Structure 1
Amino acid sequence: MSPLSQRLPTVPSGGVATHSIAPITLPITGRAHDLELRLTVPVSGQDLPVIVLSHGHGPSNYISSLYGYGPLAQYWAASGFAVIQPTHLDSQTLGLRHTDVAEAPLFWRSRATDVSTILDRLEEIAAFSPVTAGRLSAECIAVAGHSMGAYTASLILGARTLDPETGEIVDLKDERVRVGVLMAAPGRGGDALSRFAAEHYPVFIGTDFSMMDTPALVVRGAADAAAHLTVAGPDWYVDPYRLAPGRKTLVTVAGGEHGLGGVAGYDAAETTDENPERMEFVRQITTAYLRTTLGTDADAWENTRNALRSSPMNGGIESRH
């Protein structure tokens, strides 16, 4: 047992059996490809809180799809949540990034629409298997994401942007979502962007967090510089906490880079900061936050935060109410 594990409270993980179903296919008129999902749940329990987990825009073939993010999805499911993972249209598995399909390469609007579509069809998704039918809560919903997935989550939580084609303000907030977890989320636009980001990802130019009032946990790596995206350095990833109103919590992961220790996948080559203890820190702090904010364990956040105070992975935890 590692020193970090000895300091942390026991949280269900590999010892709790889970059930995973994939792919679940939702035909959607007008979408360039049917929406495919993975649903992972604990084998027991009713009225399971739902987490829609949005993948990043990374270079791997399968990490950025329903096949990735096992370290988070399995852990959250073992902790009592129903985790739904969509494959967004920017996934390498679909081959649409470098085509002339509208919204390529990021498919930023489609990504947010995917999340709302999932919530529209939650009962249908649950009914795909007798193991999950009738077990998902339609009242207890969170959205989570990493990197571009966190940008997607921020739009669902109330952040706004400008459509690069029309210049119109885009509001994709979904009121059904009670809380969010933003991991390595892109920050503000304008002069904080690198020239590369402004040219290749113009939707980031208009990013505005001033209306993102849904409660959220923002997790950022202290060493996540992302020079290809921003000239602001690691502080850019603090923006969703610093610039958004309402109840927000910021967790800084000491030594963490964009991979936050490996949340996107076990042994993923693109995780430059792979570290099992760092990943465990992220898994436990996000789980505790979700348990408390979604009402399944009122003491989880306080107990876990106290246990993590002396962790070498703890680069700071602060909250604003």
Structure 2
Amino acid sequence: MTTYNATGLTGPPSTPIVSVKPIVLPMPGRVEDVHIRVCAPVTGTELPIVLFAHGFGSNLDGYAPLVDHWASHGFVVIQATHSDSRRLSATMDDSRRPHVWRYRVQDMTLILDELDTLAASVPGLAGRMDHGRVVAAGHSFGGQTAGILVGLRVTDPTTGTAQDMSDSRVMAGIQLATAGRGGDELTRLALEVAPWLRDQDFSHITAPGLVVAGDADELPLSTRGPSWTTDPYTLAVGGKSLLTVYGGRHSLGGIPGYEAAETTDEDPDRVALVQQVTLAYLRHVTGIDDTDWEVARAALGSGRHPLGRLESK
């Protein structure tokens, strides 16, 4: 049975899901433990894993339109509440603030180290995850987190050095509405609130990846306009794809949550487009099935689809 939606794209049938939160993992050397949510289909074995990083200030309860969609179609989705979350009351002068980008990567590494512990905390999930098929995904600030896991080099604003913090356990990345290169394209606001964007090097990302960008995403962090969020595609080496969402602002139609207050461009069709294309990509890159990905490439490759364009290199 095949399902359809307003995008005109196809997808497999959905299945019931189970979600458990918070699963608490201690983080040595940090003030707060890491609170984690795991969402998984109730059936199936050898399930691929998606590590999802939220945008700045969000938490493990966000992004239900994506998380629920991926989980209901065969993926175990793992989210953490990162230290920049509003739930943790991080302030502009918090001593942790310059390090939050690095703490996020540490959170993801901890999750990868403790996959068996997490699975044992979800009824019926133990022994059903495939540790060899892990994709990192993230929106906005979370896109940087996902990018670092597959090779993005970020210059530490406190030390002035960049290091390889990639993890070989991650096979691919999905970056949604994510910041581009730094340098003289950053605004004064960006330098004040997000100094970790000052110098980003995408050239070391060799893993497969999908970048999703809205062509109306006018972020106040860059002087370049919406094309800034396409840098993770244009500045990385081959094996990448770019979905451009027509009319999409930073929320890409509403992926942070159903009726989320931060959504500036609420549009169920845009959300459906992102859901379908990202799911098709996940199924493709993890080796489940290429059919839906090829259908999406054919439907969106010409640029004539009313919702968006899909290109690859």
**TM-score under structure 2 normalisation?**
0.94
Partner of residue 56, structure 2 = 57
- Structure-1 residue corresponding to 2:262: 270
Query: Aligned with 1:181: secondary structure?
Result: strand
61, 68, 78: which one pairs with 1:74? 68
CA contact (8 A) 2:7 2:272 kept: no
Equivalents in 2 of 1:56, 1:6: separation in Å? 25
Which aligned pairs between 1:159-308 and structure 2 lie closer than 5 A? Answer: 159-226=152-219, 228-308=220-300
Q: Distance in 1 between matches of 2:262 and 2:90?
A: 21
1:96-142 CA-to-partner distances (Å, cap 9, x unmatched) read 2335333x167000001111111111111111133111111110000
| Segment of structure 1 superposing worse, 297-306 or 37-46 | 297-306
Amino acid paired to 1:57? F
The whole-number CA distance in structure 2 between the counterparts of 1:10 and 1:243 is 30
Distance in structure 2 (CA, Å) of the matches to 1:294 and 1:124 = 23
Which segment is superposed worse, 202-211 or 248-257?
202-211
Q: Distance in 2 between matches of 1:246 and 1:24?
A: 37
**What is the Cα deviation at residue 299 of structure 1?**
1.8
Shift of 1:145: 0.2
Asked whether 1:146 is paired with 2:157, we answer no
C-alpha distance 10-207 of structure 1, shift in aligned 2 (>3 A) = closer
Match of 1:94 among 88, 98, 101: 88
Question: Identity of paired residues, percent?
Answer: 46
In the alignment, is the contact (CA less than 8 A) between 1:97 and 1:106 conserved in 2? no
1:75 counterpart letter in structure 2: H
Alpha-carbon separation, structure 2, partners of 1:24 and 1:95: 20
- CA drift of 1:311 comes to 3.6
Amino acid aligned to 2:55: G
Paired residue total:
308
The whole-number CA distance in structure 2 between the counterparts of 1:111 and 1:243 is 23
| Contact 1:8-1:308 at 8 Å conserved across structures | no
Cα distance in 2 between the residues matched to 1:108 and 1:12: 37
Whole-angstrom distance in 2 between the partners of 1:280 and 1:11: 14
Take 2:192 and 2:88, find their aligned partners in 1: how far apart are those partners? 24
Where does residue 12 of structure 2 map in the other structure? Answer: 11
Task: Give the superposition deviation at 1:6.
Answer: 7.0
| Counterpart AA for 1:45 | G
Work out the CA distance in 1 between the residues paired with 2:144 and 2:91.
17
Cα deviation code 1:10-54 (max 9, x no counterpart): 4334xx200101111101211221111110011100111000010
* Alignment-derived partner of residue 61 in structure 1: none
Contact 1:97 1:105 in 2 (8 A): no
Counterpart amino acid of residue 6 in structure 2: S
| Aligned partner letter, 1:239 | D
Deviations 1:184-215 (A, max 9, x none): 01000001111111232211111111111111
Segments of structure 1 that go 5 or more residues without pairing to the other structure are 59-63
Kept in 2: contact 1:146–1:184 (CA 8 A)? yes
Shift of 1:229: 0.1
